[in-house]
Structure 1
């Protein structure tokens, strides 16, 4: 019977079972979100104003003359972004939109690969299908494809920037983030990270590329000053629709101005403490954890405290979520993941029986999700600091050598990522 058992009960490791289960499901989810939901579209169409602006740019017509008082999606990219978007207006709008969705899917798949590589997993590991499954199960990815906007390319540029920054290809690291900033400057706060890490050369290309593209686009645009006179003031306003920032949420629900200001100040202070603690205690000993957690703190704070925070921006938090695989992660607690559910769930809370209650949940889920996630990260770090103070170990040897990708020790077998037979080399091996 023992001889037959290996035929009747063939053994498979979890590293083989997980991809076998998730790959077919994930591929069908990608097909559904892109070919079905994406092509179907929705009442919100972020692609239409971008295509129209690109067409007007090519035809030497004004780009920034639309009525900003309506609740329809508006064209808000700077002239440098218009220049980069212009080629897609050379084909008809329907096929241009389909092509944009297809390339967005490729960008998301590329983002999943870069995220896995950033954390030391190969393309053949079980992590890639898990990451892709999580990506396409979220509201942030689904609505990025359905509304057809630029967010997937922002995520790809952000992760390429992190991978190249960790591998010390400084000038190249500035290229992807520079291209993103030329179109959508939402990740501009991340430039603080190379500044803190003394990788100055990243800023050369990160800032230089948008400046060069702007210099090229400016004389080609009919109304570039309208972006400064009309669009930029609008970007600084906290509108009361499709806005999950504290100011936008407060404007919609009629929250007192003093409370909105107090909440914004509170989250800024939480961010300052978190960034200080991460810089002081993690940058040298665990650069990957410092980089990915700090990026999440900067992005959540931007969404909450800025003038505009939309739910599908949450995909920029994927590197923070991935830190749950690392010792010392601030994501190893249930309140953080309750917050992730709030800002990334595809569930709708509209209720026929409890209409007012369901509406409140639906309109607040992203704001409280971001808020709870930020509070969980802050409290996790604060409690560590208080424990260190209690035990008198808050001092740090500032003269200790910095951990570099070449000098860092190999991870122990217990903490090393299991690739299921794939490569375990990390882009920048860090001390676990």
Structure 2
């Protein structure tokens, strides 16, 4: 039956045409990224410091000895993360790297499938090959595999976390997020704002308990445990002006005044807070939209406003990008896709003819993309809020969406009030009276 699906035949519908065209493009792109680009060595090698640290851990040697004055990739995982990734050094470096590439590629594909199911689509949908192709064409996935980073596994944990939150399996959701915190520390920890907003308190038990337990468990096995706190942790809290797409990194590189850097960060931070408030107050009950959009706003703000943001972290915005299939998505406009092109495109803007302009475009495009995404979300939700207020339908139990976004739902009736303003009237089910 499976081989029958591969039988060449002529498409009869537009959907079949798209599926026949996109599946080969998607599969061949995946194979190229995994077996050609990733297996070929890159100048940037995130795997080497991780493998070396794992080998040092297994042989009871010092781990946190990096010279942070160099621009080479550094080993920054906390002790608990070191314990988790230490099996990498059981086999030789080359085979270990290949296995790690395959593991991350499989994790990314599985995360994509789970996102597909989360939004109600299957493998027969044209969304499936479109999403797979877009993911593996992106800079985020390509460089995660080429540099051989752990981000693919973390993305899978993030998507599992979202699934389990929606299923109300709070302790297990905390386990998924806790594993990411154990390895990458504060990068995905702000996602705890989502269970906080939804009142899913049990999530915090495992999300915080697992990193604490893993770090305590690793303590006796790491000979320079204290060096992480005295040597590595202070470096993590600093901003650097190289390989850093956060505002503070890029502004530092171009010599922008400190007061202007802080002004931009504060203004963008205020936009983020207003956006999160609107999502919390009016969209909490729209679970998939609320969780995925909020996760994207939170992660993008961490990347662009925090001390360190690197382009391939943009893969953690995939759940938000998938909301484009929803009618009320904040991404159904062209400025949003200008932003997405900025941080997702694998294109390079370095120019031999216009070197200065090309270098500026290349260095700033990811920063610009993250910032513009936050501005778009703020403007879209802000406009919906003002429109709803003007039309007299501003209520916490209603979303800010106009009626055309939900054609299956009856719009609330309106009757004129004594002061001349329209007041919503919600029809009651027949046979049920209201309590007075």
Which residue of structure 2 aligns with residue 361 of structure 1?
361
Secondary structure in 2 matching 1:174: helix
Which residue of structure 2 aligns with residue 61 of structure 1?
61
**Structure 2 Cα separation of the partners of residues 339 and 365 of structure 1:** 9
Q: Do residues 341 (structure 1) and 322 (structure 2) align?
A: no
Which residue of structure 1 aligns with residue 139 of structure 2?
139
Question: Is residue 239–residue 308 contact of structure 2 (8 Å, CA) maintained in 1?
Answer: yes
Residues 373-416 of structure 1: per-residue CA shift (max 9 Å, x gap): 11111100111111122223323249x9xxxxxxxxxx9889xx
**Structure 2 Cα separation of the partners of residues 224 and 234 of structure 1:** 16
| Aligned CA distance change for structure 1 residues 412 and 153 (closer, same or farther; 3 Å) | farther
Single out whichever of 12-21 and 68-77 deviates more from structure 2: 12-21
Deviation, structure 1 residue 211: 1.4
Number of residue pairs matched? 394
**Structure 1 Cα separation of the partners of residues 60 and 294 of structure 2:** 42
**Structure 1 Cα separation of the partners of residues 19 and 164 of structure 2:** 27
Which residue of structure 2 aligns with residue 87 of structure 1?
87
Single out whichever of 113-122 and 46-55 deviates more from structure 2: 113-122
Residues 322-367 of structure 1: per-residue CA shift (max 9 Å, x gap): 1111121100111011000001111111111111111111111101
**Structure 1 Cα separation of the partners of residues 172 and 219 of structure 2:** 25
Which residue of structure 2 aligns with residue 375 of structure 1?
375
**Structure 1 Cα separation of the partners of residues 195 and 93 of structure 2:** 39
**Structure 2 Cα separation of the partners of residues 18 and 222 of structure 1:** 56
Question: Is residue 54–residue 89 contact of structure 2 (8 Å, CA) maintained in 1?
Answer: yes
Extract unaligned runs of 5+ from structure 2: 1-8, 400-405, 410-436
Which residue of structure 2 aligns with residue 262 of structure 1?
263
Which residue of structure 2 aligns with residue 301 of structure 1?
301
Question: Is residue 141–residue 312 contact of structure 1 (8 Å, CA) maintained in 2?
Answer: yes
**Structure 1 Cα separation of the partners of residues 223 and 41 of structure 2:** 31
- Compute the TM-score of the two structures, normalised by the length of structure 1: 0.88
**Structure 2 Cα separation of the partners of residues 204 and 412 of structure 1:** 40
Q: Do residues 20 (structure 1) and 20 (structure 2) align?
A: yes
The equivalences for 1:194-205 within 5 A come to: 194-205=195-206
**Structure 2 Cα separation of the partners of residues 184 and 117 of structure 1:** 27
Deviation, structure 1 residue 299: 0.5
Which residue of structure 1 aligns with residue 229 of structure 2?
228
Single out whichever of 233-242 and 199-208 deviates more from structure 2: 199-208
Which is higher, the Rg of structure 1 or of structure 2?
Answer: 2
CA-based RMSD of the aligned residues comes to: 1.8
Single out whichever of 200-209 and 140-149 deviates more from structure 2: 200-209
Question: Is residue 117–residue 123 contact of structure 1 (8 Å, CA) maintained in 2?
Answer: no
Secondary structure in 1 matching 2:38: helix
The equivalences for 1:15-54 within 5 A come to: 15-54=15-54
**Structure 1 Cα separation of the partners of residues 30 and 232 of structure 2:** 35
Question: Is residue 29–residue 136 contact of structure 2 (8 Å, CA) maintained in 1?
Answer: yes
Which residue of structure 1 aligns with residue 191 of structure 2?
190
Deviation, structure 1 residue 245: 0.2
Secondary structure in 2 matching 1:184: helix
- Compute the TM-score of the two structures, normalised by the length of structure 2: 0.88
Which residue of structure 2 aligns with residue 417 of structure 1?
none
Q: Do residues 163 (structure 1) and 163 (structure 2) align?
A: yes
Extract unaligned runs of 5+ from structure 1: 1-8, 401-410, 415-432
Single out whichever of 198-207 and 312-321 deviates more from structure 2: 198-207
Residues 271-325 of structure 1: per-residue CA shift (max 9 Å, x gap): 11011001111112x1111111100100010001100000001111111111111
Which residue of structure 2 aligns with residue 251 of structure 1?
252
**Structure 2 Cα separation of the partners of residues 168 and 15 of structure 1:** 35
| Aligned CA distance change for structure 1 residues 42 and 72 (closer, same or farther; 3 Å) | same
Question: Is residue 140–residue 313 contact of structure 1 (8 Å, CA) maintained in 2?
Answer: yes
Residues 147-173 of structure 1: per-residue CA shift (max 9 Å, x gap): 010111111110010011111111111
Deviation, structure 1 residue 11: 6.0
Structure 1 segments, 4+ long, off by >3 Å, are 411-414
Which structure ranks higher in relative contact order (CA pairs < 8 Å, sequence separation ≥ 6)? 1
Secondary structure in 2 matching 1:39: coil
Question: Is residue 55–residue 86 contact of structure 1 (8 Å, CA) maintained in 2?
Answer: yes
| Aligned CA distance change for structure 1 residues 272 and 32 (closer, same or farther; 3 Å) | same
